Structure 1
């Protein structure tokens, strides 16, 4: 729209300039010829002494030429100035397009890293393992991947990043909980994070899990012919646990706003067919009734 207006304005100045130029050429000439036709007898071109009266006699066309010349020169400068401005604007637009194309290309590369990083985090933890090494690995990858956000510049890139981030949060939310019954989840027990294999044992106390996670190391003498084993610690690094669950706890308000924008309407369940029958009846019932103290009550308009 702006480009079309600029081109239209340039065309107007161009027409004004060329129109003024031709007026400059012909208008004084026509006026001078008309004046010569009517009062040309005043000046005798054969008498050199009368030539000094030419300026006085033809003063009007001469002054008209000066005025039109000034106007034409001004319009020419304006036209040239607008041409220069238009060229600068087009150059800036091309530069902006080039920069944006480079940003999009760079964001695509960054998003590939984000996608790969988030997938690695999920693949590492999706089997509910309580390996100290794997949790440290997942936490480090997650932190590095989250840092990529600051390098994403385009709006579409930021939107895609938030999508990948929210998807990982949902995946980990399901993976790092116990499904006690279909659709019902509860937190992993504290014993899980001590890294012991029998963390699901109902009789295992936290004290017992802590002792198992930090076994007593045998004192061994240094022997050049043997490699001494490192102390075995299975308890998860608290920083790695904090990293993962802080990520789960956080949420993006914009993602919640996406659902809040959905119109929660009471459809005509009587006319619903096929796969829409159940949802339509549920929405109708949910809008009409509420449960209070284990009893069904009809909702009022304000509740």
Structure 2
């Protein structure tokens, strides 16, 4: 099995967390649990509405359902272990548990980034090619977009988890983060990680900049089309269909690029942990709110469902 395995599998990793041992811990921990509850409820409700309302069976909402599924899985990958460690005050995670957390985290973040990028293409087709929308965004194309997002995210996750888990960890096992994050974990390896750092940076460049380039290109063409519209109402409607997606893109890419596309020498653990809170915990909570409160069709479906529930309870 190799000598590195004996070192790597001895004992658990210690997650130092984002909390320090002081009186603010319970307040911050309670706030994260509230965010977790809102994120789980919001994403599950959005999934339920999309799949139960026939009028929401369109390409945009099909993509949105998978985005909600990714957000739900992402926050469930991070917060339950944080809660368990905080309640029992042991701050530990097993070697296998750490590998699984890395795998799920990288897969979900990578898949979500690609999906957000390809959703920009959907908005481009809806505004610039409305008469050919159902042809260009056929069911087959929608499945290809979602499938490729999951596939590339999974591949990225497998590459990173295999690389990270094959390093020898024979010194400190204290991970300066609130979850098993690849960059924080690689600092503990008692081996040269320069090749891995290059591989990780290359994966991040592709998984972030490739979909981001699709977003920039799509919205450049959308903006040109909106400027050429003669009707003010048409402009407002076009911008309204893009505003929710742009808000979600800003939240996700702003924080992810700050973490993974900076040179390693500029990384500060404290800053990285705070920024990581945004795309691991806050973004999964905000996305369903952005896509529901700002969306008339989702609110209509919600009112319709509530009306059915009220009627059923009154009988």
Common topology (TM > 0.5): no
Greater C-alpha radius of gyration:
1
Higher RCO structure (Cα 8 Å, ≥6 apart)? 2
- Structure with the larger helix share: 2
